[in-house]
Amino acid sequence: MHSISYYQEKMTHHFSQIVANKEPKNLYEPIEYILSLGGKRMRPVLTLMASEVFNVDCEKAIPAATAVEVFHNFSLIHDDIMDDAPLRRGNQTVHEKWDLNTGILSGDAMLILAYQFFENYEPTTFQKLAKLFSKTALEVCEGQQYDVDFETRDNVTIPEYLKMIEYKTAVLVGAAMKMGAIVAETSDENADLIYDFGLNLGIAFQLQDDYLDAFGNPETFGKQVGGDIIENKKTYLYLKAIEFSKAEEKQQLLHLFSIQPSENTDKIESVKAIFNASGASEATKKAIQDYTFKAFETLEKMDIEAEKKAVLKAFGENLMGRNV
């Protein structure tokens, strides 16, 4: 097996070529642009890694990995439009750099392009990949709708929230890994287990993102600490605080999440104090740990060499070892 950086470089080189010099430019240049903005390329890396876990050269998994990343970036273009976001990875979003119509149309084209990459495989593999991809893509849309719905609801439950982050974030992580397994033509049991590994790791990762948004180190987190609090997002931390808080603290939290002050420092500190005092912070850390361990438990059931299990576990530990 290769290093994460090897997989990343392989995908970055590939992305620089997939729509180069295609016409019309106003359709394809935004696609080239969003794919060039980089990021960790975690999902396609997982597809390549999974193929090699099951003893197939990662070259064979590049089309499937490309489909995963093209779809992910398509969803980012449309998410940015829905959020009216000006920046993505520190650069202008597609709809800001071009215009709204270009963002919609280029995003649509990316969804179609993603499917086309599966055409590189034999019919049986193509069918399995396309079936998984369709299921996952629809779940991502469902997760995004749940997220939008939750913005105007005051009665979101913990199970609903976990379902939302599973669909919006984790299913694509699981699918990325299972696609590598499908390309490698491993057993259905192995393919399902590596999907579960990715799914649980994806939930743990998103819960950790919730936690780091409030309590992360601003220098290492990579985005504004307290952003979810400023936007009144009902994260796992918030829902646990509502569940655990006494009446007075609960009313204070509900009030704080109903206002948009021009200066947010006091609001952020007040909310964080309630998160800590209520036990929501510790409960969130425990949930992160539980889902991480759940992911690692699936490794023990996989029919692969011990060193491959160790590689996957090390990847998970590295992913979850972000600065808290």
Q: What is the pLDDT of residue 54?
A: 97
Q: What is the pLDDT of residue 222?
A: 61
Q: What is the pLDDT of residue 245?
A: 96
Contact 238, 257 (CB under 8 A): yes
Q: What is the pLDDT of residue 16?
A: 83
Q: What is the pLDDT of residue 283?
A: 98
pTM, two decimals, is 0.93
Q: What is the pLDDT of residue 38?
A: 74
d(CA 196, CA 294): 9
Q: What is the pLDDT of residue 223?
A: 66
- 10-residue block means of pLDDT along the chain (324 residues)? 91 86 94 88 95 97 97 95 88 96 97 96 98 98 94 91 97 98 98 98 95 85 80 94 96 94 94 97 96 96 96 89 59
d(CA 23, CA 165): 37
What are residue 304's phi and psi, to 5 degrees? -140, 165
193 CB burial (10 A radius; 0-12, 13-18, 19+): buried
CA distance to 64, 208, 265, per residue, from 216 (Å): 34, 10, 15
d(CA 107, CA 137): 14
